[in-house]
Chains A and B, each alone.
Chain A
């Protein structure tokens, strides 16, 4: 016979307890605390969020940085789009140079294709095979 027992919330974990910390942990922890207390304040480097949270100057600096970022994020694109619509000559120049580079790459690959079709010297055939077939099986033919 199968019975399903429904547990109430307190009954679920009520009789259970959490594990005890290791006995030696107390001494180790208090030794760490003594070391921290003995250190000079300038040697202590609190994490940046704690510093921001506790020190109003850091908080102010952080808030100002966020405000500047938000304002810049909305103002800078608006300023850029408010121009007369003419393209920036510097941008045009840089885009031209990019297209020139692309053309050069195209020419280079065409040249490389031509080089690969040139008959190779005697003795270099194995390497040619290796290069074109991507396999070393032909090395010992």
Chain B
């Protein structure tokens, strides 16, 4: 089909290419994450500060995309860190720290969703799913337009798009964060991108 499909197919089977944009949390190797988790397991408060600087932004974004509310998303970040601190030496047994943190945050967010029984959306002009970046690439699409399109997507697809583009996760990691098989994660992403593209096609 097109380059996107080819890239998807390649990634689905090889699961090595990270494709989307980079964030501060993804350029950290697995070994570095393990090292950080060893310090966290030892109860080093400075290690928690480093973890916050590294992962708070994508984690907050993920929670906003899942919950539709910045206030609730801030609570999710807070609760996730407390949950991590409570794990103590259990952190040493975590295989993939970064996706584990996101899956913990995802479960906390889901608990909140269940308590609220609906997706809470702040008014569009107040809710920020995205902000304009500094690069010239794709300058024609502003954050507002993309945000309106994103809100049209089903939540599952929106989350897959977020984790792929802004979290830099592979499809198998997205699957483990969202608790779905890798192929389901890839399919959600593909459908989400297809729909986004359709929504963003401009008419002049």
Question: Is the contact region of chain B dominated by helix, strand, or loop, or is it mixed?
Answer: helix
**Given A21-B57, A22-B70, A46-B86: 17 more A-B contacts, CB < 8 Å:** A5-B140, A8-B3, A8-B4, A9-B19, A14-B137, A16-B133, A16-B138, A18-B57, A18-B58, A19-B64, A20-B131, A29-B56, A33-B48, A33-B84, A37-B45, A50-B90, A54-B93
Partner of B201, one of A4, A10, A33, A37: A4
Q: Does B161 contact A (CB under 8 A)?
A: yes
For residue B180, CB closer than 8 A to chain A, the reply is no
Query: Do B130 and A20 touch across chains, with their CB atoms under 8 A apart?
Result: no
Chain B residues bordering chain A, tally (CB within 8 A): 59
Residues of A with C-beta under 8 A to B162: 18
Interchain CA distance A39-B82 in the complex, whole Å: 11
Q: Is A114 interfacial (CB-CB < 8 Å)?
A: no
Bits for B1-13, please: 1 = Cβ < 8 Å to A, else 0.
0011001000000
A11 interface contact, C-beta 8 A = yes
Residues of A within 8 A of B (CB): 1-22, 25-26, 28-30, 32-37, 39, 41, 44, 46, 50, 54
